[in-house]
Amino acid sequence: MDPEISIMFQCPFQAGFTEDMVRVEISPRYNRCILPEYEPQIAAIWENCCRNKPWLFNGSKFRVHSVAMERGVLIFRFGLTCYRDFIGTNWSSQAAYLQQQGQADFEDSQAYLAEPLGVGAMLHTADDYFVFLRRSLHVGEAPGLIDIPGGHPEPKAVARGVPEELINLDDLPEDLVVKELFSSILVEIRDEVNLPLSTLSQPVLLGLARNTTSAGRASAEFYVRCSLIAEQVKQFYLTGGPEAEESTSIVFMKRQELLKLEENRDVWKELCPSAKGGVKLFLLVCEGCS
C-alpha cells in the first residue's frame, strides 16, 4: 500500500453501495474532542492562514467518526466540524502530537482531529476512459498534482436557509444527509468538469480511503458512469465550469492503463492521495463496476 493512503473501509461485495444501502447517524458524540490547551493554537493557525489568504472562509463540514456494516446497511457516524478546525488540526504541524494524545486519552488517534469527510469520483466515460484533473498551483492541497473530481458534502446544502455559522445537528435530517452525500459528488463533477448532470449515472460508493499526508483525513470514493465519450467530456471541460480555476487541464486514462497504474511509478507519483485512494478502491471493487 502506498504510504500516503490507507483503506478505512472497502465495500465487501462487488458493485458497491447504492444510496438506499447507506444510512447516517448524527450525534454530538461524533464531534471532535476538545483539548483545551490546544484550542488557542487552532485560532492562531487560522488567523495566520486568513492573513496570508484573505479569500479563505470557515465553512461547516461533516465530521466522519466511523463507519460500520449492520445487516447489509452501511452506517456513517457523523458529527459537525469546520474548515478552520481542519486547518488547525489535520493540517497542523502538531497533527502527530494530537494523534498521540487521542490514542492515549480515548484509544482513538483521530479524536482531537477535525476529520471533515471528502468525496471523490472515479468518472468513467462511454468509451472506457477515466477522467482526472491536473490541479492548479493556486489550490491549498496538492497543487500541480493529478486528482479525481471531488470535494465535500455540505451541511449548508441540507440545512437550507440556516446561516452556515449557526448550523447545528438538529438542522440535519439524517435521510437528507444521505442524499447530500451521494448528490454532492455529482455536483462536484458538474462544477469541476462542467458536465451536465443528465450525463451522469447515480453514484455507487466503493469505500473510504484515508489521506495520511493530512493525518488520516477520510474521503468517500464513488464510481460514476458518464454517457459521453472522452472527446465530448473534454469539450465541456474546455468551456469552463463554476470551479474551472481549481484545475489547469483534463487527463484521460484508458481502463486497461488504470488497472496497471500502480506499476507505472512515473504516473502514480503524480497522483495526489485522494486520487490514489479512489483508484485503489476502484481496483478492489472494479469487477462489479465494469
The string of pLDDT tens digits covering residues 24-49 is: 999 999 999 999 999 999 999 999 99
**Res 15: pLDDT:** 84
Residue 142 has pLDDT above 80, yes or no: no
Work out the widest C-alpha separation in the chain, in whole angstroms. 55
Residues contacting residue 28 through CB under 8 Å, at least 6 positions apart: 79, 169
For residue 287, name the pLDDT band (cuts at 50, 70, 90): low
Q: Say how many domains are in the chain.
A: 1
Domain around 159: 5-287
Computed over every residue of the chain, the mean pLDDT equals: 94
**What is the pTM (predicted TM-score) of this model?**
0.95
Per DSSP, 271 falls in state B
Residue 223 CB burial class (10 angstroms; 0-12, 13-18, ≥19)? buried
Helices (H), 125-246: 155-158, 174-193, 230-239
> Do 149 and 192 meet the contact criterion of CB atoms below 8 Å apart?
yes
pLDDT above 90 as % of the chain = 87
Per-position b or e across 105-123, b if 16+ CB within 10 A of its CB = eeeebbbbbbbbbbbbbbb
Residue 264 has pLDDT above 80, yes or no: yes
CATH code, domain with 265 = 3.90.79.10
> Do 128 and 254 meet the contact criterion of CB atoms below 8 Å apart?
yes
pLDDT above 70 as % of the chain = 98
Helices 174-193, 230-239: crossing angle, 10 deg rounding: 90
pLDDT per residue over 107-136, tens digit each? 999 999 999 999 999 999 999 999 999 998
> Do 63 and 110 meet the contact criterion of CB atoms below 8 Å apart?
no
| Beta-strand relationship, 129-135 and 118-124 | antiparallel
* Averaged pLDDT, 8-20: 94
**Res 288: pLDDT:** 47
pLDDT per residue over 147-188, tens digit each? 999 999 999 999 999 999 899 999 999 999 999 999 999 999
| Beta-strand relationship, 73-82 and 22-26 | parallel
Helices (H), 32-173: 39-52, 83-88, 95-106, 155-158
Spatial separation of the C-alpha atoms in residues 261 and 259, rounded to whole Å:
6
Helices (H), 26-173: 39-52, 83-88, 95-106, 155-158
